[in-house]
Structure 1
């Protein structure tokens, strides 16, 4: 018995609708899987951070031998940090700082009599590696805080100066310890550029997916003993030429300021500083970082 044409057509259309619905379901599942894979492949990651720092800087050396903290001076900086993962990053950091100290802060009798002081502007470019102790994911509820260790190397420029009768005098050109003179050929004029090994640490907290706040302490082991223009021994006032009128030059005056506190002690060969130890300085800074993100393939 032959099936009527319209009955056959109805059965065919019914099966076609069923097949079409199955096709729609399969297509939707495939699309969902593909979209999920694309989202996984294009997961957001942090690639860099532009930051700003502000705080204080302090010097330790021949004038500050007891690690006193009576002369904290300003420090500001700007940095860019590259993230490699949630634990490790590297940064370039430029800072401007001021350093200074005076023997008047010391309780040591010799230093009080010596009466030396200095100030200096510091321009520093540092390369630092940062290592988080905890996993750090800005914006995350679970991984938004971490202490960290930072190590690195910096190059910096300094130029010590002192005041006399409210006038500012740069000390390096005055050769206060006989540098570059015929009487002391072994004492070469010191460079105003040096470098330092860096070691420090801090804590950071993610305020949002775009902002990090932190606090960092960084110590510098410099390779110069002349941040303060003090290192070896007095050369005595006779090592300095007189002015045409017979009065002492500013170099002769600034190499020995002990006359202010009593009988001058700056005789040739007497200890003025300690050349065995290099000068050091440290900073404590608040940091604010602006994060840069990227969508990149993770699988």
Structure 2
């Protein structure tokens, strides 16, 4: 009997501890369940954002893909969230692009001495994929890197300065476009297609606001973003002005005379048509989350 009494006294603290653990476990389970229900009822449906940064061109004047002359870029977007990982983005972008042969390490390019600037306006649609689950408002799901791939259309109109005056190059036909002597050379389209590839990361500051940084590289279907392609020089396509002086088109199609002897003789290659031009933007920005709520089912 004494042994049984001792066992009963030892059992009481054990029962008390088990009850205490059960109560704690019940509270934890309730908390986890409540949080899970909250996460299920809270839907991150999308974002509206704006970013600013730099744009850069790659092409006949920058064949080495050097990122040494960035210019202004900014953009707006609306992102529709399909689930926690996949979204569709509609975007509008602006980039000022430009380059000059004088920045090249190649002696032939520096002698060619061509340059351009262009205002590029782009609209596009892309699919984005988050590497991590992203739910603003929940700290453990507040950060993710992401990638994206899409298609867009952009307008461009390269220009250059001569004697302090601005000239748009496309309609000047600097490679003989529009000349009766070169009927196979047509004016290039000022609208082209882009294939944007995105690498980015975003962080939710709170349930309403995110910050992000992203790089978007665009492959394009044009080789005239810089007004230079693979066609040969065509100096005979440019008639002199009525007073006998050379026309602006003639002076802009070959500017090697500014650095030395002219290299723009008929039949000599002016650019490289084997590879289309490209451009990229690097931006940082802020976005504002759009929320939906759904009633939990029991």
TM-score range, shorter chain: 0.7 to 0.9
- The residue that corresponds to 1:114 in the other structure is 112
TM-fit CA distance, 1:42: 8.0
Deviation string for 1:97-133 (max 9, x for gaps)?
1000000100101001000000000110011111001
SS of residue in 2 equivalent to 1:142: helix
- The residue that corresponds to 1:8 in the other structure is none
Deviation string for 1:235-279 (max 9, x for gaps)?
332221111111110000000000011110000111110011100
CA distance in 1: counterparts of 2:296 and 2:171, whole angstroms: 58
- The residue that corresponds to 2:152 in the other structure is 154
TM-fit CA distance, 1:227: 0.4
State whether residues 40 and 297 of structure 1, in contact with CA within 8 Å, keep that contact through their aligned partners in structure 2. Answer: no
Matches within 5 A, 1:96-115: 96-115=94-113
Choose which of 162, 165, 176 in structure 2 pairs with 1:164.
Answer: 162
CA distance in 1: counterparts of 2:169 and 2:39, whole angstroms: 61
SS of residue in 1 equivalent to 2:137: coil
CA distance in 1: counterparts of 2:221 and 2:42, whole angstroms: 43
State whether residues 176 and 234 of structure 2, in contact with CA within 8 Å, keep that contact through their aligned partners in structure 1. Answer: no
TM-fit CA distance, 1:84: 1.0
- The residue that corresponds to 2:196 in the other structure is 198
Deviation string for 1:46-65 (max 9, x for gaps)?
11211001110000000001
State whether residues 60 and 67 of structure 1, in contact with CA within 8 Å, keep that contact through their aligned partners in structure 2. Answer: yes
SS of residue in 2 equivalent to 1:265: coil
CA distance in 1: counterparts of 2:57 and 2:38, whole angstroms: 50
Unaligned 5+ runs, structure 2: 1-33
State whether residues 60 and 281 of structure 1, in contact with CA within 8 Å, keep that contact through their aligned partners in structure 2. Answer: yes
- The residue that corresponds to 1:140 in the other structure is 138
TM-fit CA distance, 1:297: 4.3
SS of residue in 2 equivalent to 1:217: strand
CA distance in 1: counterparts of 2:236 and 2:93, whole angstroms: 40
Task: Say whether 1:92 aligns with 2:90.
Answer: yes
CA distance in 1: counterparts of 2:296 and 2:47, whole angstroms: 20
Task: Say whether 1:59 aligns with 2:37.
Answer: no
Matches within 5 A, 1:1-299: 43-297=41-295, 299=297
CA distance in 2: counterparts of 1:268 and 1:41, whole angstroms: 70
Aligned alpha-carbon RMSD (Å):
1.5
- The residue that corresponds to 1:29 in the other structure is none
Unaligned 5+ runs, structure 1: 1-35
TM-score (norm 2): 0.85
CA 1:114–1:298 in 2, change beyond 3 Å: closer, same or farther? Answer: farther
SS of residue in 1 equivalent to 2:141: coil
TM-score (norm 1): 0.85
SS of residue in 1 equivalent to 2:109: helix
TM-fit CA distance, 1:198: 1.2
CA 1:169–1:297 in 2, change beyond 3 Å: closer, same or farther? Answer: same
